[in-house]
Amino acid sequence: MTTTDPTASEQAGWTSDALELGRRILTTPAVGPFIALLATMAFFSFKSDRFLETQNLSLVLQQVMVVGVLAIGQTMVILTAGIDLSVGTVMALGQIVMTKLAVENGVPAIPALLLGILTCVAFGVLNGGLVTAIRLPAFIVTLGTLNIAFALTHVVSNDLTFPGLPSELLFFGRTFSLAGGDFTYGVVLMLVLYAIAWYALTQTAWGRHVYAVGDNPEAARLTGINVNRVLLSVYTLAGLMSGIAAMLLVARTELGDPNAGQTTENLDSITAVVLGGTSLFGGRGTVIGTLIGATIVGVFRNGLTLIGVEVIYQYLVTGILVILAVSVDQLTHRRRA
Amino acid sequence: MSADDRTPILEARGLVKRYGHVVALNGADFELYPGEILAIIGDNGAGKSTLIKALSGALQPDEGEIRLDGDPVHFRSPRDARRAGIETVYQDLAVAPALDIATNIFLGREQRRRGPLGLGLRLLDKRAMRREATRHFAELQIGVQSMSQPVENLSGGQRQGVAVARAATWARRLVIMDEPTAALGVKETRQVLDLIARVRERGLPVILISHDMPHVFELADRIHIMRLGRRVAVVTPQTHTMPEAVAIMTGATRAELDQALTTGES
The domain ranges of chain B are 30-265
Cβ contacts (< 8 Å) between B82 and chain A: which residues?
224
Q: What is the pLDDT of residue A4?
A: 44
**Smallest CA–CA distance from B80 into chain A, residue:** A224
User: Which of A199, A204, A219 is nearest residue B96 as measured by Cβ atoms?
Assistant: A219
Q: How far is B124 from chain A (nearest CA, A)?
A: 5
Cβ contacts (< 8 Å) between A212 and chain B: which residues?
96, 99, 103, 107
Q: Fill in the amino acid letter for B55.
A: L
Across the interface, do A208 and B110 touch by the CB < 8 Å criterion?
Answer: yes
**Between A5 and B252, residue with greater pLDDT:** B252
- What average pLDDT score do residues B7-14 get? 94
User: pLDDT band at B264, cuts 50/70/90?
Assistant: low
Is the CB of A206 inside 8 Å of chain B's CB atoms?
A: yes
Q: How far apart are CA B13 and CA B38, in angstroms?
A: 17
Find the chain B residues whose C-beta atoms sit closer than 8 A to any C-beta of A.
Answer: 78-79, 82, 88, 90, 94-99, 103, 107-110, 112, 121-124, 152, 166
Consecutive 10-residue averages of pLDDT for chain A (337 residues) = 46 66 70 89 91 88 93 98 96 96 93 97 97 93 96 95 91 86 91 97 96 93 91 98 97 91 83 93 94 94 90 85 86 74
Q: What is the pLDDT of residue B29?
A: 95
Q: Fill in the amino acid letter for A180.
A: G
- What average pLDDT score do residues B183-188 get? 85
Q: What is the pLDDT of residue A177?
A: 84
- What average pLDDT score do residues B213-222 get? 94
Q: What is the pLDDT of residue B8?
A: 93
Q: Is the pLDDT of residue B121 over 90?
A: no
CA proximity to B109, closest of B182, B54, B192, B167:
B167
Cβ contacts (< 8 Å) between B97 and chain A: which residues?
215-216, 283
CA proximity to A105, closest of A63, A26, A166:
A166
Report the relative pairing of strands B10-19 and B63-68 from DSSP bridges: antiparallel
Across the interface, do B96 and A211 touch by the CB < 8 Å criterion?
Answer: yes
Residue of A210, A215, A233 to mutate, testing the B interface (most B Cβ within 10 Å of its Cβ): A215
**Smallest CA–CA distance from B108 into chain A, residue:** A225
Domain B30-265 has CATH 3.40.50.2000: no
Q: What is the pLDDT of residue A3?
A: 45
Q: Is the pLDDT of residue B262 over 70?
A: no
CA proximity to A202, closest of B252, B136, B110, B131:
B110
Cβ contacts (< 8 Å) between A223 and chain B: which residues?
94, 107-109, 166
Q: What is the pLDDT of residue A315?
A: 83
Give yes or no for a contact between B30 and B231, defined as CB atoms under 8 angstroms apart: yes
Question: Cβ of B213: how many Cβ atoms within 10 Å?
Answer: 17
Report the relative pairing of strands B174-178 and B10-19 from DSSP bridges: unpaired
Q: What is the pLDDT of residue B145?
A: 79
Contacts of A99 (CB under 8 A, 6+ apart): A112, A162, A165, A169, A250, A255, A256
Across the interface, do A224 and B124 touch by the CB < 8 Å criterion?
Answer: no
User: pLDDT band at B64, cuts 50/70/90?
Assistant: very high
Cβ contacts (< 8 Å) between B98 and chain A: which residues?
211, 215, 283-284
Cα B111-B95-B180 angle, rounded to 5 deg: 120
Q: What is the pLDDT of residue A27?
A: 64
Q: Is the pLDDT of residue B4 over 70?
A: no
Q: Is the pLDDT of residue B151 over 50?
A: yes
Residue of B56, B91, B105, B107 to mutate, testing the A interface (most A Cβ within 10 Å of its Cβ): B107
A32-332 CATH: 1.10.3470
Q: How far is B30 from chain A (nearest CA, A)?
A: 24
Q: Fill in the amino acid letter for A73.
A: G
Is the CB of A219 inside 8 Å of chain B's CB atoms?
A: yes
Task: Please give the C-alpha separations between residue A34 and each of A272, A294, A295, A326, in angstroms, as whole numbers.
Answer: 12, 11, 10, 17
Share of chain B above pLDDT 70, in %: 92
**A–B interface: beta-carbon pairs under 8 A:** 65
Is the CB of A44 inside 8 Å of chain B's CB atoms?
A: no
Is the CB of A209 inside 8 Å of chain B's CB atoms?
A: yes
Across the interface, do A219 and B82 touch by the CB < 8 Å criterion?
Answer: no
Contacts of B63 (CB under 8 A, 6+ apart): B14, B15, B16
Q: Which of A256-265, B48-57, B163-172, B203-212 has the lowest mean pLDDT?
A: A256-265
Q: What is the pLDDT of residue A113?
A: 97
Question: DSSP alpha helices (H): ranges in B78-228?
Answer: 78-83, 101-105, 116-119, 126-139, 156-170, 186-201, 213-219
Question: Cβ of B112: how many Cβ atoms within 10 Å?
Answer: 18
Give yes or no for a contact between B148 and B103, defined as CB atoms under 8 angstroms apart: no
Q: What is the CA radius of gyration of chain B?
A: 20
User: Which of B103, B152, B166 is nearest residue A208 as measured by Cβ atoms?
Assistant: B103
Question: Cβ of A179: how many Cβ atoms within 10 Å?
Answer: 7
Q: What is the pLDDT of residue B256?
A: 66
Cβ contacts (< 8 Å) between B79 and chain A: which residues?
224
Share of chain B above pLDDT 90, in %: 56
Cβ contacts (< 8 Å) between B78 and chain A: which residues?
222, 224
Q: How far apart are CA B102 and CA B82, in angstroms?
A: 19
DSSP state of B8: P
Cα B24-B206-B95 angle, rounded to 5 deg: 85
CA proximity to A190, closest of A329, A298, A281:
A298
CA proximity to B228, closest of B50, B63, B32:
B50
Query: Which sign, positive or negative, has the C-alpha torsion B128, B132, B135, B141?
Result: negative
**Smallest CA–CA distance from A279 into chain B, residue:** B98
Is the CB of A283 inside 8 Å of chain B's CB atoms?
A: yes
Provide the terminal-to-terminal Cα distance of chain A, rounded to the nearest Å: 40
Provide the terminal-to-terminal Cα distance of chain B, rounded to the nearest Å: 31
Phi first, then psi, for residue B14 (nearest 5°) are: 55, 45
User: Which of A204, A212, A336 is nearest residue B96 as measured by Cβ atoms?
Assistant: A212
